[in-house]
Structure 1
Amino acid sequence: MERRIVVSGYYGSKNAGDEAMLSAMLEVLGDLDPKLHITVISASPADTSKRHGVEAISWLGFPSIIKALWHADLLISGGGSLL
């Protein structure tokens, strides 16, 4: 069974600290379970997807956020949280 995680925070705004924290978090989560499906809520979904190799949705896309949360097993609200 594929586990789904949504990660929210101040991602996609090219803040080096937040991007480094997201990168480290994704690395640890991937080590724990390589089959995790991770969706990141981002100010720049295309950049976040390209940079981190995950699905990303816009922090302004409320229907997409609600859908992702509805299907998620876990929400991780990181630094600079937007929620």
Structure 2
Amino acid sequence: MRARAKVTLAEAEDKANVAHAKAEGLADIKRAKAVAEANRIIGESPKNNEEYPRYIWIKGLQEGKGERIYIPTEAGPPILEAGKAGETDR
């Protein structure tokens, strides 16, 4: 009788583990679909919307910490030290 109870318990544990794994798998799929949808929305937002990338660029400049920005010129080399970070115009 004990042996049969052990077998029944082991079968029940196996079924519970399978059910748990399936539930985790379904949750992973739902999370992946949500991330894919968010990426699609983010990817489409700048299309036909010139203002959005400009807004993100300006926001990045405002939140910057005095980084230098190198601007390429027609001649090839960037303009270096056009203004030092933190200096005011004279």
TM-score when normalising by structure 1: 0.24
Higher strand share: 1
Q: Which has the higher contact order (CA 8 A, sep 6+)?
A: 1
**Bigger Rg over Cα:** 2
Higher helix share: 2
